[in-house]
Amino acid sequence: MKTPQGIRRLLPVALVIGAAGLVATLAGLYLGVPGAYPAYLFAFVFWAGMGIGSLLLALLQHLTRAGWGAPIQRFIEAGARTLPLMLVLFIPIIFGMKTLYAWADPAHVIGDPILEHKQPYLNVPFFVVRTVIYFAVWIFFAYRTGALSVKLDETGDVNIAGTLRGLGAGGLLAVTLTATFAAFDWVMSLEPHWLSSIFGLMVTMGMMLGAFALAVALASWASNRPPLDAAISPKRFNDLGSLMLTFVMIWAYLAFSQFLLIWSANISEEVPWYLTRMAGNWTYVAIAVLVFHFALPFVLLVFRDVKRNRRLLIAIAVLLVLVRALDTFWLIVPALGAAGIGAIWPHLTALVGLGGLWVAFFVWNLARAPLLPVGLPAPLLDDAASSEPHHNRIVTHER
């Protein structure tokens, strides 16, 4: 039931790469390299999103106890427990507030009636306090459910499953709301005049998709060695692939809803957001997001043969993780105009540096619990039971 060697060997490598990347990134921030702060924010939002998305998936799994969740459960639980690291990595952003957020600079705010109106919400102390509150909520649910889930393995205590279910329901509410407002604060307020009420949902869904794709990639990779080889059959790949397709479609639905409504209304308060993101070379990024975030995975994941092919499924999942980074980049960096991109290297060092640390912390967390949850309460599989007569189930009751 141990974590496979291959995954554990990642820890030192990731730690070294992460530390080196972080040092380079912090140096860039300190020296005031153009684009260093937007790059840092982009990397931060992406990796924090992996944690938040994992947490939402884990809570969903505790609430529903669905059959598809077992093989990826430990990965999403470990992902959720990376959030304390992200809280620490939030600190550099506080120093870059004035560079990143126009509303944090009094020179911008005074004389602008709308920004003055937003002052009670968009101001530096409240922004920091809110972020700390968000993280407090997330870390509470991540660690509480994580600990209980391991305890459930050890004791098989029914009451724990009930508690987890309650935490799942309450946690989904609390985390969805806090993640929504985190998306407003961290990303939407980069353009303080712009607003979109679907934005929080869209970004949160993207986070869930990214975390799910990462978990599927890892679980599929580990599926041909113990202990996961017992839990993942070709049909399970099929379920995971279908679910990934569902997430891709929900994300695309939310993104398209926002686009269509803003495009058709074409009013000056809203449409500049898209104009900025489709001007110059950003057009190519926008097209790449459209193709690789929706069109290609959609077409591929429709086919059963693709979903049941382990290598292909891993490839699609990895593609989705990468394209989540691209989408986060496209959401954040154009907001800061020409200064946004600056040099390219800070974006890479930030993404790899924060990512290295994230992966190291993730693997460390992963190795602390058995990779396959053995105390998974199964009765819900009544509901999940297949209408195909001989559907493969991971867990079967024995009474």
CB of 322 to another protein, least distance (A): 26
Residues 81-120 that bind another protein (CB under 8 A): 113-114, 117-118
Residue 195 binding another protein, by CB under 8 A? yes
Nearer to another protein, 105 or 112 (CB): 112
Residue span binding another protein (CB under 8 A) among the ranges 38-46, 177-185, 279-287, 328-336 = 177-185
End-to-end CA distance of the chain: 25
Q: Name residues contacting another protein, limited to 29-88 (CB under 8 A).
A: none
Helices (H), 90-233: 91-95, 97-100, 106-109, 113-118, 124-155, 158-186, 199-221
Quick note: the x/- pattern for another protein over 199-218, rule CB under 8 A, is xxx-----------------
Residues whose CB falls within 8 Å of the CB of residue 289, separated by 6 or more in sequence, listed in order: 323, 326, 327, 330
Q: Is residue 130 near another protein by the rule CB under 8 A?
A: no
377 scored as a contact of another protein (CB under 8 A): yes
**Residue 113: count of CB within 10 angstroms of its CB:** 7
* CA 347 centroid distance within chain: 18
| Residue 267 binding another protein, by CB under 8 A | yes
Does an H or E element contain 323, and which? helix 310-332
Asked if residue 148 binds another protein (CB under 8 A), the reply is: no
Q: Which is nearer to another protein, 36 or 254 (CB)?
A: 254
Among 19, 97, 271, 384, binds another protein (CB under 8 A): 384
One residue of 156, 283, 295, 298 binding another protein per CB under 8 A: 156
d(CA 290, CA 281): 15
The single residue listed with the structure tokens 């709301």 is: 177
For residues 301 and 245, what is the distance between their CA atoms, to the nearest angstrom?
6
Give the number of other CB atoms < 10 A from CB of residue 389: 5
Which listed range, 38-46, 225-233, 280-288, 342-350, lies at the site for another protein (CB under 8 A)?
Answer: 225-233
Rounded Cα distance, 332 and 340, in Å: 9
Minimum CB–partner distance for residue 240 and another protein (Å): 14
**Residue 231 binds another protein, judged by CB under 8 A:** yes
From candidates 17, 288, 290, 380, binder to another protein by CB under 8 A: 380
Joined together, the tokens standing for residue 137 give 């909520």
Q: Does 128 bind another protein (CB under 8 A)?
A: no
Phi–psi pair at 344, nearest 5 degrees: -80, -35
Distance CA 274, CA 259 (A): 8
Q: Which is nearer to another protein, 141 or 184 (CB)?
A: 184
User: Contact, 150 vs 369, CB < 8 A?
Assistant: yes
Q: Which residues bind another protein (CB under 8 A)?
A: 113-114, 117-118, 121, 156-158, 161-162, 173, 176-177, 180, 184, 195-201, 223-224, 229-231, 233, 253-254, 257-258, 260-262, 264-265, 267, 269, 374-380, 382-389, 391-392, 394-398
